[in-house]
């Protein structure tokens, strides 16, 4: 997340040379600047908001005030309002790579991955050496790729439903939640066995026999009075996730 200090520095750097020295500023931004430098959140919201809403404020002063206010809104968890301020900044100056990156981080925080990725890409287009934007873009692209892979197998168990013969397997195939549980159990068990093999072969065989015993109990107990398949599967997953510090 872009902090208030970084945004302040970015705004100051961006403002250098922006004002026309031949013209006297019609609005004095001093109160907003002072509040921002003092990290007085309440004053920033009041003074900088007044500057933002003043039609006589210069573009540079409005940008600085918007960035200052957005930093306070971020600190108070008001993500949507901070994004709205960044939207205005980028309308006023669409070449501000830092703000594209900052808005992307907020979009990602609220779960809008496509918009976040687009913002990180825009920041990199403006500044190919922007380290934070590059890191954000790479990690989010990988996250989206993993989610896509997960979605491709959503509702599918670890076995082929077309060849399922046991009643318990048919029940798992008929319930997407059970199918996802079965696949997750299989994936985590594979990880646990691989990790155990790094210790010794005996431990790995023990872990695999535990999985085989679970499957045997599941197959034998399914359909009996009082047997809860979903609970049994969740218990097995919990047991696996606690194995070897998984």
> Tens digit of pLDDT for each residue in 52-102?
999 999 999 999 999 999 999 999 999 999 999 999 999 999 999 999 999
Residues 6+ apart with CB under 8 A from 210: none
Rg of the chain taking only CA atoms, in angstroms: 28
Give the pLDDT band (50/70/90) at residue 234.
Answer: very high
Give the pLDDT band (50/70/90) at residue 152.
Answer: low
Averaged pLDDT, 120-135: 93
The answer to whether residue 19 scores a pLDDT higher than 80 is: no
What's the pLDDT at 146?
72
The answer to whether residue 49 scores a pLDDT higher than 50 is: yes
241's enclosing H/E stretch is: helix 229-241
**Per-residue tokens: 148:** 């896509």
The least confident of 195-199, 204-208, 233-237 is 195-199
What's the pLDDT at 148?
64
Averaged pLDDT, 111-119: 89
**Per-residue tokens: 155:** 């509702």
pLDDT 10s digits, 162-199: 999 999 999 999 999 999 899 889 988 888 898 889 88
Mind listing the domains of the chain with CATH numbers? 4-150 (1.25.40.10), 161-245 (no CATH)
Output b/e per residue, 32-41; b: 16+ Cβ within 10 A: bbebbeeeeb
The answer to whether residue 11 scores a pLDDT higher than 70 is: no
Q: Of 103, 132, 135, whose CA–CA distance to 119 is shortest?
A: 103
Highest-pLDDT range among 210-214, 236-240, 242-246: 210-214
What's the pLDDT at 151?
62
**Per-residue tokens: 27:** 């609005």
């Amino acid at each position: 997340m872009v902090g208030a200090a970084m945004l302040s520095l970015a705004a100051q750097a961006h403002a250098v040379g922006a004002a026309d020295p031949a013209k006297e500023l019609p609005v004095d931004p001093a109160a907003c600047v002072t509040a921002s430098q003092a990290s007085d959140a309440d004053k920033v919201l009041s003074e900088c908001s007044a500057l933002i809403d003043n039609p006589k404020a210069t573009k540079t002063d409005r940008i600085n005030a918007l960035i200052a206010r957005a930093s306070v809104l971020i600190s108070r968890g008001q993500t949507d309002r901070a994004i709205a301020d960044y939207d205005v900044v980028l309308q006023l100056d669409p070449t501000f790579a830092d703000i594209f990156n900052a808005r992307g981080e907020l979009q990602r925080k609220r779960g809008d991955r496509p918009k976040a990725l687009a913002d990180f890409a825009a920041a990199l287009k403006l500044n190919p050496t922007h380290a934070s934007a590059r890191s954000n873009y790479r990690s989010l692209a990988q996250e989206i790729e993993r989610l896509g892979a997960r979605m491709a197998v959503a509702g599918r168990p670890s076995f082929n439903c077309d060849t399922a013969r046991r009643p318990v397997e048919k029940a798992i195939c008929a319930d997407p939640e059970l199918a996802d549980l079965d696949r997750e159990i299989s994936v985590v068990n594979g990880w646990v066995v691989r990790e155990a093999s790094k210790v010794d072969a005996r431990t790995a065989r023990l872990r695999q026999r535990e999985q085989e015993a679970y499957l045997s109990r599941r197959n034998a107990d399914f359909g009996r009075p009082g047997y809860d398949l979903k609970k049994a599967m969740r218990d097995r997953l919990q047991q696996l996730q606690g194995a070897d510090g998984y």
